[in-house]
Structure 1
């Protein structure tokens, strides 16, 4: 674009990945938009202990505004501060004031201001509004200029279209090579297979199948489990629980074990075309990645050459039995080459910029047409 946009972004947190799986995605997209000349202000609540578990300071590539997580005065001040932006984004899953924000951002819509809903958990959002016709967000969907999602492909696009969205476009997760890249192995994370993910109802049964079942089948292998919420979960003796793993340690965790496991949440696997941030983090570190099966994997990484695919825990165990260090390195290097060539946040930011350019030109043309008419 000839001039950078002023973007107001209401999301869960930019500065903390604590109970916030979208942090890597937000950081990658927003940093890349900044590098293309756009100015982003990120508005986030002080909630869920995230400010007490920050893993980055306020970055130079975005202005961060933290508002109180209790009482409406703070969020309404944030909304007032955002007025006049060229683009206002309400992300899903802020965690507090979601319904208020979903309606209030639409009050800023106008000839010079686009308003977008950026859905970082489209399966959950769609399941909710499809099962509850009275959900207040359902009636707001057609009013947004644009719905962006971080995954889902045609199933999500078609579902939002059926709810009368003006336009729905997936902007997939990707790699930020500045933050996720190969590093030397770290003895703290030595093992055969590592899995990193918070304990969530939509994921737990799949973790039992793909990770814990494989660990029980391979008592001679060493498994690492990272993420919040697993402390009271019964684990096989060959599984070491790491607790919350801060972003600064993600590269070492990806680079050290022989392989890294991705386990999609049930809803993400059901919709397909939903590669988690961990997929690109691991590939960017040159890790050998094993993933549960979901439709659309081949659009991002080639099975058996750039990624290993398993349909159950037995298949995970079989991959580990057969996986030599040499093959693991070859798969990891092939994945790294692929994501650098096609799946960085620079690629995604260029996509978003082109999309916004088209929407702004279309809005200007519509306003001019109404004036001339």
Structure 2
């Protein structure tokens, strides 16, 4: 098939979780014999922070503005079997309307931020998607599953809203034999709604256990934040550095954005990446978590710093390693980029054959 994807970024993972998802998906689609063109708006903040200048899979092209997009790539969009527009694409409403007018194949929307998108629509904020566009996307692909998809169909008129969760790359994320540097680590860009949970689950644990070793990696944290003395900070880690970072921890922490918690069924890519490294996960609680990992066997749920401390101090080394390997087995069997590429193929075959995906 010929597939065109217009996404936020594939060349830069700086401050976004989109790039790693697109990299894995595009690579696996190409491996399965498809011709994939990825179109990315050339934005200055990504231009200064590109960690994959020329993706070695498919074809990646940058465009400066909407007019350049139309001038150079109308034929590609018109001739594609599938055209995917991602969330947070600059001028996404105009891009989506053009795609729906131009594409002869299946136009689809890939929402990597579904609960955030719906909250924006409810406020009348049509930054990259408007209600009028949703019925025209024959597939609404979503990082979030569960009941929210029924609402997108019922209330917003989507012909077919289906989960296409994030995933991990098992070729990049795997266990390593190294001595852990930290008892608990966290990887994530700063956000106002996640910070109180990070405070409760990690920083309170760090204060309670002064001899414990903790680390937080990610950009955009305010300079005036007060960190406990036993919490190390890493400003930014490019994706090639993530596996070593996970493998340097005894446990890794997952913190979910408030909109994702309310919606449920919204796994973070960090969950799958850390699990693929066989590093046991400690996570906040949210609806649907048990459909991805079995609590108590493949993942630990924490509600407080005290509970986090108990896990760090009381789980034996043998139990820790066994839990990590069970989580890794789950990821390899269900949550790789290859699984997502196969799922997308199935959705497209169903839509083009007239059946419900």
Q: Distance in 2 between matches of 1:160 and 1:48?
A: 36
Of 173-182 and 153-162, more deviation after overlay is shown by: 153-162
Q: Is the 8 A contact 1:231 1:241 kept in 2?
A: no
Q: Distance in 1 between matches of 2:205 and 2:131?
A: 41
* Cα drift, residue 101 of structure 1: 1.2
Q: Is the 8 A contact 2:152 2:161 kept in 1?
A: no
Alignment of 1:139-150 (within 5 A): 139-150=132-143
One of 77, 83, 88 as aligned partner of 2:83: 88
Q: Is the 8 A contact 2:167 2:337 kept in 1?
A: yes
Q: Is the 8 A contact 2:120 2:126 kept in 1?
A: no
Q: Distance in 2 between matches of 1:152 and 1:298?
A: 13
Q: Secondary structure at the match of 1:83?
A: helix
Q: Distance in 2 between matches of 1:228 and 1:300?
A: 27
* Cα drift, residue 24 of structure 1: 1.9
Q: Which residue of 1 aligns with 2:68?
A: 74
Q: Distance in 2 between matches of 1:266 and 1:42?
A: 30
User: Would the alpha carbon gap of residues 78 and 157 (structure 1) be closer, same or farther in structure 2, given more than 3 Å must change?
Assistant: farther
Q: Is the 8 A contact 2:77 2:103 kept in 1?
A: no
Q: Distance in 1 between matches of 2:126 and 2:236?
A: 37
Of 310-319 and 75-84, more deviation after overlay is shown by: 75-84
- Confirm whether residue 153 of structure 1 aligns to residue 146 of structure 2: yes
Q: Which residue of 2 aligns with 1:368?
A: none
Q: Which residue of 1 aligns with 2:111?
A: 119
* Cα drift, residue 73 of structure 1: 3.0
Q: Distance in 1 between matches of 2:308 and 2:96?
A: 41
Alignment of 1:169-180 (within 5 A): 169-180=162-173
Q: Which residue of 1 aligns with 2:302?
A: 310
Alignment of 1:142-291 (within 5 A): 142-185=135-178, 190-230=181-221, 232=223, 233-291=225-283
* Cα drift, residue 40 of structure 1: 1.0
Q: Which residue of 2 aligns with 1:11?
A: 7
* Cα drift, residue 160 of structure 1: 4.1
User: Would the alpha carbon gap of residues 251 and 103 (structure 1) be closer, same or farther in structure 2, given more than 3 Å must change?
Assistant: same
Q: Distance in 2 between matches of 1:305 and 1:194?
A: 20
Q: Distance in 2 between matches of 1:131 and 1:229?
A: 25
Of 221-230 and 15-24, more deviation after overlay is shown by: 15-24
Q: Deviations over 1:1-48 (max 9, x none)?
A: xxxx11110111112111121222212222121111111111112225
Q: Secondary structure at the match of 2:265?
A: coil
* Cα drift, residue 87 of structure 1: 0.9
Q: TM-score scaled by structure 2?
A: 0.93
Q: Is the 8 A contact 1:42 1:65 kept in 2?
A: yes
User: Would the alpha carbon gap of residues 319 and 179 (structure 1) be closer, same or farther in structure 2, given more than 3 Å must change?
Assistant: same
Q: List gaps (5 residues or longer) in structure 1.
A: 364-373
User: Would the alpha carbon gap of residues 78 and 93 (structure 1) be closer, same or farther in structure 2, given more than 3 Å must change?
Assistant: farther
Q: Let me know the Cα RMSD of the aligned residues.
A: 2.0
* Cα drift, residue 109 of structure 1: 3.4
Q: List gaps (5 residues or longer) in structure 2.
A: none
Q: Distance in 2 between matches of 1:216 and 1:45?
A: 43
One of 120, 130, 141 as aligned partner of 1:128: 120
Of 290-299 and 72-81, more deviation after overlay is shown by: 72-81
User: Would the alpha carbon gap of residues 321 and 134 (structure 1) be closer, same or farther in structure 2, given more than 3 Å must change?
Assistant: closer
Q: Distance in 2 between matches of 1:217 and 1:155?
A: 38
Q: Secondary structure at the match of 1:279?
A: helix
Q: Distance in 2 between matches of 1:160 and 1:246?
A: 37
Q: Distance in 2 between matches of 1:287 and 1:35?
A: 28
